[in-house]
Homo-oligomer: A and B are copies of this chain.
């Protein structure tokens, strides 16, 4: 919610009767916005009235407000077969209100802007190496990137509704605190002020959770299942649990830390301090080393090596082992592999599936599915931008 939106709310809420009226109007605006955004074919005002059960006149006023606010766009009128005025189809507004996804990961920084139609307006991903980095310097750099991107879209007349900052670690969305990101070497800090983005509403979230939301949003050829484990493989490995199309967050949103599941207690020491964690076998740097590449080599180099006959049996078996634990403990039958794993899956699949078959107690009775993510690279950027826009559409009254 923007500062402007908050101020407007404060002004309108001057007493109980005003509050009730405001609430009713808010709810009706949500209903109308949801009809425009969720019904697959474009509706006219009359169609929105039919879909929401609201009066035609009410709908017309609310649609006018949503159009003026830049949340809904009118297409040219079409004359249908029926009598009466030609219908004006209503659609999500392109290049109007936009959401900003930001991310610091171990080997890149990124900023991505999505508009309300789901289109990527602009996208900046800067490779780097941020192991044991200085949070103020890195977040300052990402902040500069974010400002550049924001200024660019603002110059084209768009409004940035807010941002989500994805981090590979334990974050508390309520306090905005990052507790720990082992691979960055960051702990106990408040990242948002270090971005220096002034009044922009920026919230922090875990990278894998935002990437899972991008996956859930679909938009690709294969619809995601209602329940799945999403694993985001990079230098670190995070996961998210989706049950009935909702993130299952545990008590504090600190679940899905599959990167630190025990693969072998006699294994190498991990950035978290423990021994034999999954990341030491199936993290991106471990996989680079396994084929003789420098740990900071780009993913393309690893893929090229694999295409020429290199193999990743240890990574595949380790990933299978940790996933087997996950499935044994949670009973979710579909595993979606994202991040670097999306491209690497052809070389990991056989080992992953063999270990799942060996170790999942229910394997003979269920059809365990391992599939590649569909949301594209740096999915947390997409998921973060989408989350901003989802919040806008859940409370459109702040925008009109």
Q: What are the residues of chain B within 8 A of A361 when measuring CB–CB?
A: 170, 180, 182, 254, 257, 260, 272
Docked-complex contact B329 and A274, CB < 8 angstroms = no
A325/B321 contact (C-beta < 8 A), A170-B361, A170-B365, A362-B254 known: no
A324 within 8 A of B: yes
Q: How far is the CB of A64 from chain B (nearest CB, A)?
A: 42
A262 within 8 A of B: yes
A359/B329 contact (C-beta < 8 A), A227-B251, A251-B227, A365-B179 known: no
A198 within 8 A of B: no
Q: Is the interface of A mostly helix, strand, loop or mixed?
A: loop
Docked-complex contact B329 and A325, CB < 8 angstroms = yes
Q: How far is the CB of A262 from chain B (nearest CB, A)?
A: 5
Give the CA-CA distance A192 to B326 in the complex, in Å.
Answer: 31
Which of A340-360 touch B at CB < 8 Å?
358-359
Docked-complex contact B179 and A328, CB < 8 angstroms = no
Q: What are the residues of chain B within 8 A of A274 when measuring CB–CB?
A: 358-359
A250 within 8 A of B: yes
A47 within 8 A of B: no
Give the CA-CA distance A75 to B256 in the complex, in Å.
Answer: 53
Docked-complex contact B333 and A251, CB < 8 angstroms = yes
Docked-complex contact B258 and A362, CB < 8 angstroms = no
Q: How far is the CB of A383 from chain B (nearest CB, A)?
A: 19
Interface string of A248-282 (1 = CB under 8 A from B): 01111111111011111110000011100000000
Docked-complex contact A262 and B260, CB < 8 angstroms = no
Give the CA-CA distance A258 to B261 in the complex, in Å.
Answer: 13
* CB < 8 Å neighbour of A261 from B227, B251, B260, B329: B329
Which of A162-214 touch B at CB < 8 Å?
170, 179-180, 182
Docked-complex contact A329 and B255, CB < 8 angstroms = yes
Q: How far is the CB of A26 from chain B (nearest CB, A)?
A: 28
Docked-complex contact A331 and B263, CB < 8 angstroms = no
Docked-complex contact B330 and A330, CB < 8 angstroms = yes
Q: What are the residues of chain B within 8 A of A179 when measuring CB–CB?
A: 362, 364-365
User: Closest residue of chain B to A264, judged by CB?
Assistant: B265
Q: What are the residues of chain B within 8 A of A332 when measuring CB–CB?
A: 250-251
A239 within 8 A of B: yes
A255/B325 contact (C-beta < 8 A), A260-B359, A274-B359, A361-B260 known: no
Q: What are the residues of chain B within 8 A of A324 when measuring CB–CB?
A: 262
Write the residues of chain A forming the contact surface with B, with a CB cutoff of 8 angstroms.
170, 179-180, 182, 227, 239, 249-258, 260-266, 272-274, 321, 324-326, 328-333, 358-359, 361-362, 364-366
Q: 13 other contacts beyond A179-B365, A325-B325, with CB at 8 A cut-off?
A: A182-B361, A227-B251, A250-B330, A252-B331, A257-B329, A261-B325, A261-B328, A262-B321, A262-B325, A264-B264, A266-B266, A326-B329, A329-B330
Q: Sorted from nearest, which 3 A-B pairs have the closest CB atoms?
A: A250-B331, A255-B331, A257-B328
